[in-house]
Structure 1
Amino acid sequence: MQNPRGLRAAALTATAVLLSALVAGCGGDAPKDGDLTAQNLAWKDCPAPSESEGGGAAPSPLPEGAQWQCATMKAPLDWSKPKGDTIDIALIRAQASGPGKRIGSLIFNFGGPGGSGVSTLPSFGPDYAKLRTRYDLVSFDPRGVGRSAGVRCESDAQLDRYFQQDAMPDNRAEQNAFLKNTKQFNAGCEKNSAKILPHVRTTDAARDMDLMRQVLGDSKIHYFGISYGTELGGVYAHLFPQHVGRAVLDAVVDPTETPEQSSLGQARGFQLAMDNFARACVSDKATKCPIGNSAQDVENRIAALLKKLDSRPIPGLFPRQLTQTAATNGIAQALYSKELWQPLTEGLQQAYAGDGRILMVLSDAMNGRSQNGEYSNLTSANVAINCADEKQRYDTAYVERKLPEFRAASPLFGDFLAWSMLSCTDWPVAGAAEHADVSAPGSAKILVVGNTGDPATPYAGAKKMVDALGKGVGVELTWKGEGHGAYDSKNKCVQNVVNTYLLDGKVPAAGTVCS
């Protein structure tokens, strides 16, 4: 099962898999004198995405016919040795359309960590049409992801078996099996990707972004970070406060939390989203809720299904079965967006009748598995980046002590999130810090957008980010909504505030609320 730290933001990437086609990128040469800031990017038409980026077709032109272009930037493998070995960083862009004077590049990171920006940006490109009037829209595969020295841990067949495991063990034998699988996965990462593993920290990706800013010809970075992308944006602002231009952090990760605190917060967040989903189903007077007579009945039936699947999986996508873990993973995926509530309802109806296909499709999207059975490197990169960032290493005894607290936070998701704290067990690289440092004295103002119904990055994280950025830097905007993230919900109020800030430089009043 995927590291729950990835649940905080495989979000937009995985939802894009379900709701639209994904795409990819490549191209460029480093200067011979070793000055990477002087390299010229060779922009070309984008190829079809690689397997590691999620596969699929090359990106379609934008509605008015503009083409997506791809290139490759050279970056140091080890930022402590800037003139040493280099790696390729895959980029994608759509050039500014006008009218209006071009401001510069607007760089996107959609989260994960582990999500391919090269494949995700075109999926959302039409939603950013107004921003493209004055910005080149740019995204990238962060180091360790997709075409950017992507981490590889296991084969597709091995990953199929890995995701079929019982990730919510009930006894010592199941715990031992789960821990063994985790260690085998992590050993595979070391065997197949040892060279890149020490160099995929968020601080490394932030340094890549500052190099990107220079190579793109921008004196300031303009940035739109979503989910984990908010942490990356905060770390960038900490390292390079003088280079921050206009920056938006949406679906905000709490930068002060440990992995345990983050997972516990997610347990509460996903439980809140489940409560809201159940209430919405039974409150629709036009149609009878097909999965329960009351909100509590909906949740009781889901709990009973998951308990049954623990010992008696049902057919999923042949030859795989829908296990308790896969069903929980699929349900969590659907809670990322209200657009997936209807498929979740249909998937639950199917599962009650003994058919697990829809819930398995949802689970596959969370895990980065395509319909042809190939996996992107979303999970591998997610684990590698989190374990490189996070100093904490938990063991089974610690998780067992914490289970009552997690179960109290969420009867449905508590075990799921508690046991996933073991993801970094026996990881070959030491973690960097207790939590991210995003203090950014001297930075330009940064717009921080929190959503009261966000399951993966709970609303309280936005205020924590504002406080951590420091006095006079973070400005909070609240959206009273559902799902992971605010801008891509298409809420007009949120989009108007964000667009006005990015296009005109007008910072909203602190505490502005959209509903």
Structure 2
Amino acid sequence: MRRALTTVALTAGLTISLAACGTSTGTSGDPTPGSSGSTPAGSAASDKIAWGACTDLAVPEGSTATPDATLQCGKLAVPLDYNKPDGETIDVAMIRIPAKGPGQRIGSLVFNFGGPGASGVDTMARAVKAFGTLNARYDLVSFDPRGVQRSRGVVCGTGKDMDTYVSLDTLPANDKTRAKVRAATEQFTRLCEKDSGPVLPYVGTVNAAMDMDRMRDALGDPKLNYFGMSYGTQLGAVYATKFPKNVGRTVLDAPLDPSVTLEQRTLAQTKGFQQAYMSFLKDCVTQGCELGDSVETADRKIEDFMNKMVVSPLQVGDRQLTQGLASTAVAAALYSQLSWPFLESALSSGFKGDGGALMYLADTYTGRRSDGSYSTEMSSFPAITCVDTAERPGREELLRTEEAALKISPLFGNAGAGSICTLWPVPGSNEARKVNAKGSGPIVVVAGKGDPATPYQWGPRLTAQLKTATLLTYEGEGHGAYLSGNKCIQGAVNAYLIDGKIPAKDASCPA
């Protein structure tokens, strides 16, 4: 789940740690061929997927790694508008890594890595080794959801337009800054409508869940085995609510509570990022910190640096590191405790006038490539977020939200995604905010105590809403537990997905 910075928001980063865990008990429903499942909505059967070589994977800057030779890519045609199943179609891009063994193949395991707006195709290609244990028994499958990258990705202007938008300053928090942000947001939304207008009404989570059921059928699986992270937990919850009889083994890691309002989401995430920021500073001082010899000193230096950037941004090549980009860089590094040493070094360099490392963090976060182009992530996020809610906050509500957020964190406080949804060119619906999964197979929800982007309280709340869910708690830092490297979490999740062992009630894993 991305956190709003100015008027856009940031993705799910996935973290690391280790420890031992509580026992598991119980067995999930059998997801192997032969179990009952229903046909996909609007069709007796889905089109099949023509798998072939992956020819357009995004390679991280400077990477020399060779893609896994077993990667397969393909496309699945689905209705653009499910109310017109025989009308215009949209191609959903997919990727698959066939099960490698040893052991009998269970079926497909479909991933969504978050956002909303992250490319599952690119992420899956880079994350194969992280899921090696699961790949022994499952075909690993992911996709670019509708409105993302290869699947009619939402575009809002040129790379230069995006440069202007993501570099907006958020300080000082006064009427002049708010007016600049609103004007820039109005321009951004006009570009979204101009470049992607026809697809905008159809990119929400409900339609993406319908697409996943088409995928399940095309993959030949009677039930959908699913691993959702961050925003992917909301997608999984919506799927389980719409297609409960088709739910196989399902893990929801770093859960989002879809019932929260835009204001509640903003304040919870602001609190989460401020807590992660203070944990970073405390850890830095304990280890011997380049930023200062106390938390108070380091915090003051960072605050002074950010204020200075409003007046004197740092030159980085032919670009400028603004306060807005520097704040984005800090937020990006707080998603994972593994990034803390790099953040310390990047800020220290920034204090000395070198903004290159902070610019790198910001670019990684916003999806900016070295050639000045962008992935669709920063455009897909508001497109999906705003279609998934009927809320369109007025100015008084946005100001109230911002003032409350700034009291929590002067660095991260702002009006959140409500700023852009107010101006979004198509209406939204609350259907994706109502989940229950009644009648589905067992679901495992994994929530982290130190998660900045999806605060821990959302885990118990989503578990309660999903009548068939069990909560597994991770006591560590960072956004996402499975990819933190924590052996306890990985062991419990693997035991469920491979052997059907459901974690015991109130099970937890220490950091």
Relative to the length of structure 2, the TM-score reads 0.90
1:247 match: secondary structure: strand
Aligned to 1:19: none
* Residue 212 (str. 1) matches residue 220 (str. 2): no
Contact 2:14 2:483 in 1 (8 A): no
| Pairing 1:54-133 to 2, within 5 Å after superposition | 60-62=66-68, 66-133=69-136
Q: Give the aligned residue type for 1:475.
A: T
Q: Which has the higher contact order (CA 8 A, sep 6+)?
A: 2
Aligned to 1:498: 493
Residues 271/38 of structure 1: CA separation in 2 closer, same or farther (3 Å cut): closer
1:290 match: secondary structure: coil
CA distance in 2, matches of 1:55, 1:127: 20
Contact 1:167 1:419 in 2 (8 A): no
Residues 252/38 of structure 1: CA separation in 2 closer, same or farther (3 Å cut): closer
Residues 149/56 of structure 1: CA separation in 2 closer, same or farther (3 Å cut): farther
Relative to the length of structure 1, the TM-score reads 0.89
Residues 459/342 of structure 1: CA separation in 2 closer, same or farther (3 Å cut): same
Contact 1:55 1:376 in 2 (8 A): no
CA distance in 2, matches of 1:57, 1:76: 37
Identity %: 45
| Pairing 1:158-307 to 2, within 5 Å after superposition | 158-168=161-171, 170-284=173-287, 288-307=288-307
More helix by percentage = 1
Q: Give the aligned residue type for 2:347.
A: L
Contact 1:258 1:435 in 2 (8 A): no
Q: Give the aligned residue type for 2:131.
A: Y
* Residue 49 (str. 1) matches residue 57 (str. 2): yes
CA distance in 1, matches of 2:134, 2:91: 27
2:128 match: secondary structure: helix
Question: Unpaired segments of 5 or more residues in structure 2?
Answer: 16-41
Aligned to 1:507: 502
Residues 348/434 of structure 1: CA separation in 2 closer, same or farther (3 Å cut): farther
CA distance in 2, matches of 1:224, 1:502: 9
Contact 1:248 1:446 in 2 (8 A): yes
Report the alpha carbon displacement of residue 299 of structure 1 after superposing the two structures with TM: 1.5
Equivalent residues, number: 482
* Residue 149 (str. 1) matches residue 152 (str. 2): yes
Aligned to 2:308: 308
1:428 match: secondary structure: coil
Report the alpha carbon displacement of residue 37 of structure 1 after superposing the two structures with TM: 2.7
* Residue 452 (str. 1) matches residue 449 (str. 2): yes
Aligned to 2:11: 9
CA distance in 2, matches of 1:58, 1:119: 15
* Residue 374 (str. 1) matches residue 373 (str. 2): yes
1:173 match: secondary structure: helix
Report the alpha carbon displacement of residue 172 of structure 1 after superposing the two structures with TM: 3.0
User: Which one of 479, 488, 500 corresponds to residue 484 of structure 1?
Assistant: 479
CA distance in 1, matches of 2:419, 2:296: 31
Q: Which range moves more in the overlay, 144-153 or 306-315? A: 306-315
Residues 207/59 of structure 1: CA separation in 2 closer, same or farther (3 Å cut): farther
1:455 match: secondary structure: coil
CA distance in 2, matches of 1:83, 1:223: 28
2:326 match: secondary structure: helix
Aligned to 2:383: 384
CA distance in 1, matches of 2:323, 2:171: 8
1:451 match: secondary structure: strand
| Pairing 1:419-434 to 2, within 5 Å after superposition | 420-433=417-430
Report the alpha carbon displacement of residue 503 of structure 1 after superposing the two structures with TM: 0.1
Q: Which range moves more in the overlay, 433-442 or 220-229? A: 433-442
Q: Give the aligned residue type for 2:312.
A: R
Contact 2:14 2:481 in 1 (8 A): no
CA distance in 2, matches of 1:83, 1:368: 35
Q: Which range moves more in the overlay, 82-91 or 291-300? A: 291-300
CA distance in 1, matches of 2:493, 2:412: 33
